[in-house]
Every structure is written in structure tokens, then in C-alpha cells.
Structure 1
């Protein structure tokens, strides 16, 4: 099923149960433009969330995450969450909801040998794959797959056979990204695997807070409280997992955003300084040159 508008949950007579029942029966894609949209509580199937423009906020496990262009969020089966769009300019949100049986079939194929699949081709995994529910960058390969999916939808509409083929490939790409996350979680300094996994989930909470609220300059105490980690543990384990301290990671987020604005907008350097959360223009220009080797205005001129 394919929707180009978001449901209005506040509309009189809206049948919420009937709406959500569809997610158990079909793969569903939303590609919608909206300024105002709210869903206070949804228990969903495995789903992929991104935006093509603007931003959308998700509430997951008491944390608030902002999904922006170039990022995506995977939510596991039966995960409670809220979502909202509340922006002056419209946001183009793009979501894929995977029917449980469909996702299980793809995952089973990915982890099983050909011999096992021959003996029992329709066996489904008893335990579904559980992803880290954290913000990730859209890889070039995933971007190509999403572009191909959008092109197919634009040209042919929702043709179930063609769409399912493309969704299978996208799910396989998620597995590859998940393997990278697992490898990163093993870098956490702990002995037990279960402890490494729990610590990594908390570090992902810290990382997502930095991405979502970088312009507010969250301090270590705020990040530590949100992720249930002491400040010293946060700094030490964050660097073990991501290769940078929280402050270094925050600066990188800000500079990446600044570079994007320099390339794609006509915003002045002073306005970019403010919007990216730098204290003053001198500090921004100094940090930008250290990272990119050029002053912001010169960088902008080279990208035209």
C-alpha cells in the first residue's frame, strides 16, 4: 500500500484500530508532505523512517530524536513510539512499514545456508532480528536503493511484485548496516556481551541527543543524565565506541551542518554560525578552517 498523505488522528470518526490493522497485512509506504502531524502512541511493525526535507521528531523509550535529511531511524517490531511534524515549512517524510512475515522471510534467507532453505524454504525465524534503534547516516548504497524505489513508485505506482523486490534489497542493506553497529558495540569496554550491548544502547542515546539538539550545545551533565551514564563513563565509553569524545563529535556534527548550508544555501556566515550553535563567528571560522582547510566563504566559492 502506498500513501501520499498522512492520516489525521484527531479527525472526528478516525478509526485508529482499523488504520493500524493494515500494518499487519501489508507492506506500507508513506511519502507525504506535511507541516502538522501528530501521533501520540503507536505500536508498530518494523519500520524505516527518514525525511527528504525538513524534520520529523520521534519519541522512543522516553527519548526525543530528530530525523533530518541524510539520516534514518529503524524501529523494531512492537516498539511503542510517538511522532510529530510541527514546522513552518513543510517536511517531506518517507516511511516504510514492513509486514512481519515479509521481514522474517528476508532475514531468514540472509542468515540461512542454501541447504537449510532447500529443506524448509518457508520456515520463519522464531526470534526476529532486533536493530539498534538509533539514528544512522544513509549510506550511498541505501540512497541509491531509496532513489530507485521512489522512481518506481512515481512511474508505476504501488505494484506489489516490483515493490516487494525492492523492499527485500533494502532490508538486506539494513542487515549490513546492523553488522557494522554490532562491530562498533564490541568496542565498548566491558567483559560481558550483554553489558557491551546495554552500554552501546545508552551511548546511542547520547549520540542521538547530540544529533537532535546540536544547536542547543547540550553539556556533559545533560547528555549523561539522558543516557544514564556518569560523565567519566560517558566520555570514556563514547570515545571507545565512536572514536571521538562527545565534544569532538558535537563539533563534527556542527561543522558538517555548516558545510551543507554553505554548499546548498545563500545564508550568510554569521547566520550559519548562529544556526549551527557556535558561540561566535570567529570560533566558527577557526574550527571550520581546522577541519576543512579553508575559510567558510572560500569553501563556498570552491563548491559553486
Structure 2
């Protein structure tokens, strides 16, 4: 069963705990698709969920780490993760969250782990281990994007499209597992003997990267990142470059340039305002770095 919610719950009137969730939705999968301005939710329990937006940026706080999610990325939280969330003042967000219930997960993983003959012999079998996903923001793959957009459009008439949405939810989760497999291969490239060590390095380096993606407009130092990731500066620098093929400072500069590119294409803000909004300290360094990357000055890029 799938339940559909087209508005955020009242952040004051609800407890947002596990008991309240199962009292309200039981074992159902739940799609939350709503538009909102400024709103804030306290730390609360959640089921396994995939989070994205179709417009704007929604922020999540987990273990004092800020994670910004927009239409170009996704964030997965495992069941029993506790987190807070908010939408900033003066921003409009179209939020889209897919919550996967226990019946769906058990049946899907039972299917994924069996051969065709066993599935024919016992189609109701539902014993299998679930996957623990990496809880960090990552770029949205073409396959995941396709299924998200399809479901987002079909929720306009949820009852009419219910069966198709049910199918797309299955395909979406399958694509999520494929992406998880790709991440596991990336973990295996980390130079450490124990699998648990490789996973921990991967997790901590992504904490630093997620912080850059969410707070790129603020001054960010390597020392600050090392404290957030709980790694030494030299260890973080080396592992970050191995995973992302660039240093944290280079990643930060690129993140700011990409946001400037977006604002130049979609807004009428003055160049000085864009420079400040994306985190550059002065117009000259912004222009120089932008021209080096895009082969045009910001003014030329806007007119092209």
C-alpha cells in the first residue's frame, strides 16, 4: 500500500516519533510531495527514506551536520535515523520524499536474493537482509531522476495513477540499490585493509564534502572541515583528493562557480550580489576564477 501526503504536517502538534508514524501509516510506503515556504521540524525519527526536491533547497541536520538537498541530488536516511529539517526564510521549496515501508522492503530484498525457480516455488517468501545505505548527499543518477520525475508528475492524480506509481516505486528502489553498489565499489578503492575502516573513511570524507555543498557561501577552512569530519587535516586532504580527484579548496571553488553559473542563467541579480551570495570575497577574484573555468567573464557568460 502507498499513502500520499500533499502538505507538511504541523511541526507543533505532532510528536514525530516512531509510534506516531506507525499509528498514522502502518506498514505503508508514504510519498510526501508538497510546496512550502519557511518551516522547521525538530529532531525526529524516520523510516528508510529518499529525499529530494523539484524546486529550491531543503536542509536536514544529522549529528550536527547540515545537508542541503535540491533537485540535482538525493539524500537517503536509513530506518531509525533521527534528524531535523527546515526550509530557509524567503525560499520556496517543492519537497519530494519517498518513505519505504517494511513490507515493501522485505518482499523486495527476498526477490532480489533468490533465483527464478525459487521465486516460482514460493512467490510469498519474505526473508532477506535489508541494505544499510550511505547517508550522504550525492548527485542524482539518470535512472533515479527518471523515476522521481515520473512519480512526481503522476501524483497530480494519485488515485488514477496508483498502480503506475506502485510500479515506479519498485523501479526507483531498484535504481537506488544499483547506485549503492556503485558506492560500494568506490569504497573498495580506499587504501585500508579492513572493510569497516574503508567505510568509515568514506563516511567521514563525505561529511566534509556535504558541509561544503551546504555551506559553500560561508568562509570554510581545511581546519574547520577536519574538525567536522573528525580527521587530521593531512589525512582529510589526502583522502578527499583520492575520492573526488581534487582538494577541498578546489571543490569549494568549483561549487561556488557552479552556483554563480546557475544564478547568471536564472536571475537578474547584479554581478556584485552574485559574487557575495556564492561566497567569493571580492569581484576581481570571482571574475578571474570564473573566466579561467568558463573561458568567459561573468558578464560575457550572461550575455551569451
TM-score by length of 1: 0.91
Give the 5 Å matches for 1:145-156: 145-156=147-158
Aligned to 2:91, what secondary structure does the other structure show?
strand
| Structure 1 counterpart of 2:54 | 52
Deviation at 1:203, TM superposition (A): 0.7
Whole-angstrom CA distance in 2 between matches of 1:15 and 1:28: 18
* Contact 1:32-1:94 at 8 Å conserved across structures: yes
Pick the aligned partner of 1:141 from 140, 143, 150. 143
* Residues 206 and 125 of structure 1, relative CA distance in 2, 3 Å threshold: farther
Aligned to 1:209, what secondary structure does the other structure show?
helix
Q: Structure 2: state its 5+ residue gaps.
A: none
Pick the aligned partner of 2:269 from 267, 270, 274. 267
| Structure 2 counterpart of 1:61 | 63
Deviation at 1:148, TM superposition (A): 1.1
| Structure 1 counterpart of 2:209 | 207
| Structure 2 counterpart of 1:290 | 292
* Contact 1:189-1:237 at 8 Å conserved across structures: no
The RMSD of aligned alpha carbons is 2.0
| Structure 1 counterpart of 2:218 | 216
Aligned to 2:89, what secondary structure does the other structure show?
strand
Deviation at 1:98, TM superposition (A): 0.8
Whole-angstrom CA distance in 1 between matches of 2:127 and 2:201: 27
Pick the aligned partner of 2:83 from 81, 84, 109. 81
* Residues 94 and 115 of structure 1, relative CA distance in 2, 3 Å threshold: same
TM-score by length of 2: 0.91
Whole-angstrom CA distance in 1 between matches of 2:238 and 2:297: 32
Whole-angstrom CA distance in 1 between matches of 2:15 and 2:126: 31
| Structure 2 counterpart of 1:254 | 256
Aligned length, in residue pairs? 300
User: Which runs of at least 4 in structure 1 moved beyond 6 Å after TM superposition?
Assistant: none
Bigger drift between 112-121 and 68-77 goes to 112-121
Q: Structure 1: state its 5+ residue gaps.
A: none
